[in-house]
A and B are shown apart, each in its own frame.
Chain A
């Protein structure tokens, strides 16, 4: 009997370690942004429908805004598009689109066909800004507060529930200034 005691104890200890590992392993779809609480990276990107003009992060400072990373090559972006259109109708937070590694023409065609939920879309043609935001797959959606700090990042298609729970709830009480 006692000769099984030590192996059994080792087995249980290992099982415990592996269980904790499996339960806490980083889930691809819920990985926290490394930028939480930090200021957004500096960027200056051409506006999609007006390439002569650039939008910078400092121009967006002073009020909360939402950055949605998408591309016409991204299937889940098509899935979330109707949700973004509903969000745009609420008119509570400006949606800034980051068109990630995409063809400008394809992106403009997409917005013409499916509707445009964005206040403004910028073209990140070579993906440098997306890297600085720690983006690893589209779609990703960031909540940025009035001080320009990242407060939340959602990975995957936006849903009405996520929008309510993680984005609207982060707005200052009493609405926007």
Chain B
């Protein structure tokens, strides 16, 4: 019985996710003159933040400003600007905030390093716990078999 419920739940979840992914693709309608430019355009509009609705990229946002910024990206690509130049021109007008991926600079280094430090801490803690348990099993099996503290 429970597998049926689980399958039904998965089906509902799947259709919801599909709906979300379809709706998020709806605004990105600009087409570029050739596939190579299209690829760069698609990548760039997904890494620039919509400044009016800060947790969406300009590719995912229907607001007018995002539309204007997509037009700006499109025009700069056609004008022969490199991806780096386009990013730079966006930062010059809107600041670093507009990039979803912050640049690696002394002031932003911790943003990049902190997750790896935390991962390292997590691994060390996990190793310690595993070793402790292993030594408990090796030392005295009764400790594992009963939860009662020794008196």
The answer to whether B97 and A26 have CB atoms under 8 Å apart is yes
Instruction: Give the secondary structure class of B's interface.
Output: helix
Knowing A28-B54, A136-B51, A136-B65, say if A34 contacts B72 (CB, 8 Å): no
A28, A101, A134 — most chain B CB neighbours (10 Å): A134
The answer to whether A134 and B54 have CB atoms under 8 Å apart is no
* Chain A residues near B51 (CB-CB < 8 A): 136-137
The answer to whether B95 and A132 have CB atoms under 8 Å apart is no
The answer to whether A10 and B64 have CB atoms under 8 Å apart is no
Q: Which of B3-11, B15-23, B86-94 contacts A (4 or more CB under 8 A)?
A: B86-94
User: Pick the contact of B93 from A32, A35, A126 — CB < 8 Å?
Assistant: A35
The answer to whether B64 and A131 have CB atoms under 8 Å apart is no
* Chain B residues near A10 (CB-CB < 8 A): 121
B112 nearest CB across to chain A (Å): 15
User: Pick the contact of B92 from A26, A34, A126 — CB < 8 Å?
Assistant: A34
User: Considering only CB atoms, which chain B residue lies closest to A28 in the complex?
Assistant: B54
* Chain B residues near A33 (CB-CB < 8 A): 95
The answer to whether B93 and A131 have CB atoms under 8 Å apart is yes
Q: Does A31 count as interface, using CB distance less than 8 angstroms?
A: yes
User: Considering only CB atoms, which chain B residue lies closest to A14 in the complex?
Assistant: B118
The answer to whether B52 and A137 have CB atoms under 8 Å apart is yes
User: Considering only CB atoms, which chain A residue lies closest to B95 in the complex?
Assistant: A34
* Chain B residues near A135 (CB-CB < 8 A): 65
Instruction: Give the secondary structure class of A's interface.
Output: loop
Could you say which interface size class chain B belongs to?
A: 10 to 19
Q: Does A133 count as interface, using CB distance less than 8 angstroms?
A: yes
Knowing A10-B121, A28-B54, say if A134 contacts B64 (CB, 8 Å): no
Q: Does B30 count as interface, using CB distance less than 8 angstroms?
A: no
Q: Does B37 count as interface, using CB distance less than 8 angstroms?
A: no
The answer to whether A134 and B94 have CB atoms under 8 Å apart is yes
The answer to whether A133 and B93 have CB atoms under 8 Å apart is yes
The answer to whether A127 and B94 have CB atoms under 8 Å apart is no
A97 nearest CB across to chain B (Å): 19
- What CA separation (Å) do A28 and B53 show in the bound complex? 10
Interface residue ranges of A113-139 to B (CB < 8 Å):
126-128, 130-137
Sampled A-B contacts (15; CB under 8 Å): A31-B95, A31-B97, A32-B95, A34-B92, A34-B95, A35-B93, A38-B92, A101-B64, A127-B64, A127-B65, A128-B72, A130-B68, A131-B69, A131-B72, A134-B95
Q: Which 4 A-B pairs have the closest CB atoms?
A: A136-B51, A34-B95, A134-B93, A127-B68
Q: Give the A-binding residues of B (Cβ under 8 A).
A: 51-52, 54, 64-65, 68-69, 72, 91-95, 97, 114, 121, 125
